[in-house]
Structure 1
Amino acid sequence: MKDVFEYTGYRQYIADYYAERKVKSAFTWREFARVAGFSSSVHLKYVSEGRFNLGEDAAERVAKAMGLSGNRLEYFRAMVEFDHAKTDAEKKAAYGKMISIAKAHKAKVLEGDSFRFFSDWKNPVIRELAPAMPGAKPLALAHACREKITAAEVSETLNFLVKAGLLQKDDVGNYTQTEKSVTTGPMEVTPVAVRGMLRQMGEFALDAIEGVPQAERHFSGVTLGVTHEAYDEIVQVIAECRKKVIAIATRDSAADEVYRLNMQFFPMTNIKGLKK
Structure 2
Amino acid sequence: MSIFVHMKEIVEYTDYRKFIQDYYDERKRSSAFTWREFARDAGFSSAVYLKYVCEGKKNLSVGSAGSVAAAMGLAGFEQTYFVLMVSYAHAKDDKARRAAFEERCALAHAHKVRVLGNEEFDYFKSWKNPVLREIAPHMPGAKPLEMARKCKPQISAAEVSETLDFLVRAKLLKKDKSGNYEQTDKSLSMGSVDAVPVAARDMQREMGEFAVKALDLPLSERDMSGLTMGLTRRAYEKIRKEIADFRRRIVAIASEDDETEQVYRLNLQLFPLSERLDDCDDKNKGVGKK
TM class, shorter-length: over 0.9
TM-score using structure 2 length? 0.90
Matching residue of 2:88: 82
Per-residue deviation at 1:127? 0.4
* 1:259 is the counterpart of 2:261: no
1-side partners of 2:56 and 2:158: how far apart?
43
In angstroms, what is the RMSD of aligned CA positions?
1.5
2-side partners of 1:229 and 1:255: how far apart?
39
* 1:173 is the counterpart of 2:210: no
* 1:129 is the counterpart of 2:135: yes
Identity of aligned residues (%): 53
Per-residue deviation at 1:148? 4.3
Letter in 2 for 1:224: M
2-side partners of 1:120 and 1:227: how far apart?
35
Matching residue of 1:233: 238
Letter in 1 for 2:10: V
Q: Which has the larger radius of gyration?
A: 2
Matching residue of 2:160: 154
Change (3 A) 1:106 1:275: farther
**Pairwise mapping of residues 14-163 of structure 1 onto structure 2 (< 5 A)?**
14-163=20-169
- Secondary structure, counterpart of 1:39 in structure 2: coil
TM-score using structure 1 length? 0.94
Deviations 1:72-123 (A, max 9, x none): 1111111010011111121111111111111111111112211111222111
Letter in 2 for 1:246: V
> Of residues 273, 285, 288 in structure 2, which corresponds to 1:268?
273
2-side partners of 1:147 and 1:272: how far apart?
44
Letter in 2 for 1:250: S
* 1:248 is the counterpart of 2:253: yes
Total equivalences in the alignment: 275
Per-residue deviation at 1:225? 2.1
1-side partners of 2:52 and 2:241: how far apart?
35
Deviations 1:164-197 (A, max 9, x none): 2111111222111111100122332211122222
Query: Please, which runs of 5 or more residues in structure 1 have no aligned partner?
Result: none
Per-residue deviation at 1:249? 1.5
Change (3 A) 1:54 1:227: closer
Structure 1: 4+ residue segments shifted above 4 A: none
